Amino acid sequence: MTSETPYHHGDLPSALVAAAIELLEENGAADLSLRAVARRAGVSAAAPYRHFPDRTALLSAVAAVGYTDLGRLLLQASAEPASADDLAAIAVAYVRFALDRPGLFRVMFTEGCDPTNEDRVSAVDAIRAYVAATVERALPGTDSAAMGTAVWALVHGLAFLHLDGKLDAASDEAVAATVTAAVHAAVGLHTT
């Protein structure tokens, strides 16, 4: 949508978040501004300020969408994971999300967001609970909170290593093999 196209949608906040995500995927976060988002959404430069008082508020809303999308993708990878192989499948899905949506992923984890944004906090808590439940089922007998943090840190690190070109991301197979091997090594198990 161009700035000459009048905006005729009933949900301006969602349209602004969608425009911000499009811009992030094209250019990253460095040049993202409320003005640029307004242009992309086809509204006046002042319109975003009715819903987002500043860039941080907009980025928090964007991050909330990202965490929700990531959570959905993890559930698709394994709705009720109960094994190390399931844990590895979830890890692969996490890294694929980072590679498929790098602008959004970086905003979720590297941009300053409002720590009180309820949607973002709720979405992060849902992922944290999913990871803890996964670890509890897949790795019984471990401290699920500590192991959940360790597994998330491992997978998150793998995502950034792939994003930053430190690990081979040339094919889905290469990514899956690297991530699966790392998860199995970290939890002390081998694929069956």
pLDDT of residue 190: 39
DSSP state of 6: P
Model pLDDT, residue 10: 74
Tell me the C-alpha distance between 119 and 15, whole Å.
16
Residues with Cβ within 8 Å of residue 1, at least 6 apart in sequence = 7, 19, 40, 41, 42
Q: What is the largest CA-CA distance in the chain?
A: 61
Report field, pTM of the whole predicted structure over 0.75: yes
**Domains annotated on the chain, with CATH:** 1-52 (1.10.10.60), 59-187 (1.10.357.10)
- Mean pLDDT by 10-residue block, N- to C-terminus, for the chain (192 residues)? 50 92 87 90 90 90 92 91 91 97 89 79 86 87 86 94 95 96 81 38
